[in-house]
Amino acid sequence: MEKKVKPKKVKPTKVLDYLKHEDPFSKGVAFCPGCSLELLLRFIPQVLGNDIVITGTPSCSAPVLLGQNNQSWHSLSYFGTLMTGAAANATGLARYYKKAGIDNTVVCFNGDGTAADIGFGNLSGAAERNEPFIYICYDNEGYMNTGIQKSGTTPYGAATTTTPPGLVSKGKNLRRMNLGLKMAMHKIPYAATATMSNLEDLAKKLLKAKEAKERGFAFLHVFAPCPTGWGSATENTIEICRRAVNTNYFPLWEAENGRVRMTKTVKKPKPIAHYTELMKKFAHLTPEDLEILQDDLDYEVCMLGGLSVLEAECQLPLSADE
């Protein structure tokens, strides 16, 4: 059994101040119980406005984000894309609106399977061309809708249906890629990480992304726990987000015009077991196995730290048209 956590008292934040627009989704939607996507999807248009055009792929988001026949769970403009070409679809929309002089905020909303795996080529291409839209990857670390298979962001040791633990396997025997940093290396106007335990941080980053897309490509990497796929208690979703931040499993940072900056500094990060204990996908790991995962996180944090130390010296030169 997964552990249950007593809700702690948390300080009130100003997050409600950021919710200036209506929630365009109907009251009940068809996500799994405890899914972090519902909060994220309701949050985005309340911060950015209901006049966004949102694109989505066949994925966990699809049952709610994409309509079925002529019915929909929300009142947003949306565009159902293929996983292979999501960023290229968003490119086509944004470029046509630009040509036609139509104000627009295109939000290309995809899981890690699309962003990190099958659709990474066109994500990278759109970033290289500095296309004027916001790309949000909700990272639930695998193909959760398809039945919990491994992706490029699935962490070391995690059990999935294509990386089951066995006599000769620890689960996923490979380390995860760092999608956020990979995107920051495209020298785009804005790249950031966020999650649902830090909503004010998320809201600020959404607004920065909207402002940045006037200059080009904006990328948000959002950590999005999946109770169904990870084997966690439905009420623990936000706590998992919180522990991911506090263990440095998923550090919160942003890169504005190339300047990398931590938006939340974790002074004394807790050991990774504090995070992994909340879900079944790591339950088979020994303390030694967890060391490998810890080493991987330490490496990523070290790299991030190095980049953020350089912040004062490093800034992207402004592009020619500014």
Partner 1 sequence: MNIKTEKRSQMKVITGNAAAAIGAKLARPDVVAAYPITPQTEVIEQISTFHASGEMDCELITVEGENSAMNAVMAASLAGGRVFTASSSWGLVFMYDAVLATAGARAPVVMVNVNRETPGIIAVSSGQQDMISTRDSGWIFLVAESCQEVLDMVIQAYRLAEDYDIQIPVMVHYDGFYLSYLSEGVDVPFQEDVDKFLSVLKDQPGRTTLKPGQKLGVGSHGILGGYLELRHKHVMAFERSKDKFDAIDKEYNDIFGRSYGGQVEEYRMEDADVVLVGSGSMCGTIKSVIDEQREKGIKAGLLKIRMYRPFPSEALVASLADKKAIGVVDRSLAFGFKGGPIYTELKAFETQLKGSKLISFIDGIANSDITTDNVVKMIQTTLDLASGKDVPEVTWVCYPEANKPQSNEVGGQ
The footprint of partner 1 (CB under 8 A) covers 50-53, 62, 66-70, 72, 75-82, 84-93, 95-100, 102-106, 121-122, 124-126, 128-129
Quote the least distance from Cβ 316 to partner 1, whole Å: 21
In the complex with partner 1, the residue whose CB is nearer, 115 or 304, is 115
The least distance separating partner 1 from the CB of residue 169, rounded to whole angstroms, comes to 32
Q: Smallest distance from the beta carbon of 108 to partner 1, in angstroms?
A: 10
Whether the Cβ atoms of residue 126 and residue 86 lie closer than 8 Å to each other: no
Strand pairing of 253-256 and 190-195? antiparallel
Q: Of 38, 125, 52, which Cα lies nearest the Cα of 88?
A: 125
Q: How far is the CB of 27 from partner 1 (least distance, A)?
A: 17
Q: Are 134 and 107 in contact (CB under 8 A)?
A: yes
Residue 110 beta carbon to partner 1: minimum distance, rounded to whole angstroms: 13
Q: Could you tell me whether strands 106-111 and 134-139 are parallel, antiparallel, or unpaired per DSSP bridges?
A: parallel
To partner 1, the closest distance from the beta carbon of 264 in angstroms equals: 32
Check if the beta carbon of residue 4 is closer than 8 Å to that of residue 30. Answer: no
Q: How far is the CB of 262 from partner 1 (least distance, A)?
A: 31
Find out whether 113 and 78 touch, Cβ atoms under 8 Å. Answer: no
Residue type at 191 in one-letter notation: A
Of 74 and 242, the one with the shorter C-beta distance to partner 1 is 74
Q: Which residues pair with 253 in a beta bridge?
A: 262
- What amino acid occupies position 253? W
Of 129 and 208, which CB lies nearer to partner 1 in the complex structure? 129
Q: What is the DSSP string of 251-285?
A: --EEEETTEEEESS--SSPPPTHHHHTT-GGGTT-
CA atoms within 13 A on the CB side of 12: 3
Cβ nearer to partner 1, comparing 36 with 105:
105
User: Which residue number, 96 or 299, has a Cβ lying nearer to partner 1?
Assistant: 96
Tell me if residue 137 falls in helix, strand or coil. Answer: strand
User: In terms of CB distance, is 103 or 313 closer to partner 1?
Assistant: 103
Amino acid at the residue 200: E
Could you say which DSSP state residue 40 is in?
H
Q: How far is the CB of 178 from partner 1 (least distance, A)?
A: 21
For partner 1, the closer CB: 119 or 225: 119
- Cβ proximity to partner 1: between 102 and 316 the closer is 102
Contact present, 212 and 218 (Cβ < 8 Å):
yes
